């Protein structure tokens, strides 16, 4: 009996695109390559996604859907801590995602749930709309920056002392901090 191929769907296309991005970053993602991975012509993809931008928006939303949402009734500090840890772990699994989330408007269903849950938790704790938005953006900026540093920093923590011994002597005289803890 002939084996039937799984039909294409938006979900299947986006999941395959996510796998491609995880393997080689978003630069490795093309309609042609995606079609090859799915065993179809690239033109077949356009019945399910409008273009590459729609794919990028879709995979960004898939990544956001993996982040744990604050639970109603949790204390806001614990909820934001859990959310931050979860977001960092998710972004480490998808190293290309920080740049994508920081460079595009993200308004997919998962992002809207994420924003609603986060802002709702902060509003429920007494934050004004403006302060909740500021706190959310400050937290995400920290999470993205910390994640990018972790992904790109040229030394492992075990190499910090050696790196400091190599680079600190290169500073000009008087450039060392004056605090006694740096002496």
Tell me whether residue 44 is exposed, middle or buried, using C-beta atoms within 10 angstroms of its C-beta: 0 to 12, 13 to 18, 19 or more.
middle
Residue-wise pLDDT for 138-154, tens only, equals: 999 999 999 999 999 88
State if pTM tops 0.75.
yes
pLDDT value of residue 18? 98
Is 11:49 a contact under the CB 8 Å cutoff?
A: no
Is 102:143 a contact under the CB 8 Å cutoff?
A: no
Q: What is the mean pLDDT of residues 6-33?
A: 96
Is 108:61 a contact under the CB 8 Å cutoff?
A: yes
Alpha helix locations (H) across 66-125?
76-93, 97-103, 109-124
Q: Measured between alpha carbons, how far is 79 from 172 in angstroms, rounded to an integer?
A: 45
Residue-wise pLDDT for 101-131, tens only, equals: 999 998 899 999 999 999 999 999 999 999 9
Q: How far apart are the first and last CA of the chain?
A: 77
């Amino acid at each position: 009996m002939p084996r039937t191929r799984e039909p294409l769907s938006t979900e299947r296309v986006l999941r395959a695109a996510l796998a491609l991005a995880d393997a080689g970053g978003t630069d490795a993602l093309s309609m042609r390559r995606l079609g090859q991975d799915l065993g179809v012509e690239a033109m077949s993809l356009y019945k399910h996604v409008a273009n590459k931008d729609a794919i990028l928006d879709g995979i960004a939303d898939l990544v956001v859907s993996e982040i744990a949402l604050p639970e109603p009734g949790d204390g806001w500090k614990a909820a934001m801590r859990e959310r931050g840890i979860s977001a960092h772990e998710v972004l480490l699994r998808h190293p290309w995602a920080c740049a994508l989330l920081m460079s595009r408007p993200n308004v997919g269903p998962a992002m809207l749930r994420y924003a609603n849950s986060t802002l709702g938790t902060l509003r429920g704790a007494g934050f004004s709309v403006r302060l909740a938005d500021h706190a959310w953006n400050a937290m995400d900026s920290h999470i993205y920056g910390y994640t990018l540093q972790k992904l790109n920093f040229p030394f492992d923590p075990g190499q910090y002392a050696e790196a400091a011994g190599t680079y600190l002597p290169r500073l000009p005289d008087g450039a060392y901090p004056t605090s006694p803890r740096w002496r």
